[in-house]
Amino acid sequence: MIHRHLHKLFTQGIDIITKDMSILDDLFYDNYALTEEELTSIKTYFTAKGLNIVNGYPRSDSVFPLLAIILSADREAETFLNDDAEPISDRESSYFNMDLKSSIWEYTYNFLIISEHPDITAYYYEIAKSILLIGYPQLEEIGCFDFALEGSELAPDLRYLPEHLFYRQLTFRVRMEFQQFDKESKFKKAFKVVGIHIDKNASNYDIGGVKDNVKPYRLEE
């Protein structure tokens, strides 16, 4: 499940930054030309608070700052003829000779970055975006492709969060092949052909105006 890999990706990214704060220099100073004073305040806050990563919407007891991984939608984006994919050809595989059904699915995730201050939310928004972009190869290893990322600032929604919190959203779209093996199909196939069947009265029939001209020969006993 992709959301678990996303959770791992963000968690690893936060751990790496915690051990090497120069990464924040590369991000904020080189890209956004923040002052040394502001950079120092970001590092101080990051060291003290870190970033909590959760799957699903925040709860009443959630600790901020927080990044919530939420599946917004998934859909079957591309299909193949009869949904057939190339079966496994490795004879040693337990899936050998099974029918394989496959299609391409697109998943849309929303990452909510939430804190108690608008600047803090903006900092963590950029950090989360950077971690995700750098982590694309890690997601490719599990079969993800065709990445798309965009973001926005959101107004507080009192149905889900207190009014005093500030949050931004990253919207992430990714595609992945979804496969299903038909185990029953393996037992409905012939693995060997022994001889051919010929009617004992010969098969020199006229079928649709075409003669097959196959004549059996019997060995004398």
28: buried, middle or exposed (CB in 10 Å: 19+, 13-18, 0-12)?
buried
In the prediction, which pLDDT does 72 show? 95
Classify the C-alpha dihedral 70-73-77-82 as positive or negative: positive
Lowest-confidence segment of 17-21, 190-194, 199-203 by average pLDDT: 199-203
In the prediction, which pLDDT does 201 show? 53
Per-position b or e across 80-107, b if 16+ CB within 10 A of its CB: eeeeebebeeeeeeeeeebbbbbeeebb
In the prediction, which pLDDT does 85 show? 59
Which CA distances in Å does 57 have to 67, 103, 158?
A: 9, 29, 13
The domains located in the chain, with CATH, are 2-186 (3.30.70.1700)
Model confidence at 200: pLDDT above 60:
no
Q: Give the pLDDT confidence of 101-142 residue by residue, as tens digits.
A: 778 999 999 999 999 999 999 999 999 999 999 999 999 999
Model confidence at 220: pLDDT above 60:
no
Task: Give the chain as a 3 state SS string.
Answer: CHHHHHHHHHHHHHHHHHHCCHHHHHHHHHHHCCCHHHHHHHHHHHHHHCCEEEECCCCCCCCCCEEEEEEEEEEEEEEEEEEEECCCCCCCCCCCCCEEEEEEEEEEEEEEEEECCHHHHHHHHHHHHHHHHHCHHHHHCCCEEEEEEEEEEECCCCCCCCCCCEEEEEEEEEEEEEEEEEHHHHHHCCCCCCCCCCCCCCECCEECCEECCECCCCCCC
Is residue 5 very low, low, confident or very high in pLDDT (cuts 50, 70, 90)?
Answer: very high
Q: Per-residue pLDDT averaged across 185-206, rounded?
A: 56
Smallest CA-to-CA distance from 8 within 171, 135, 145, 127 is with 135
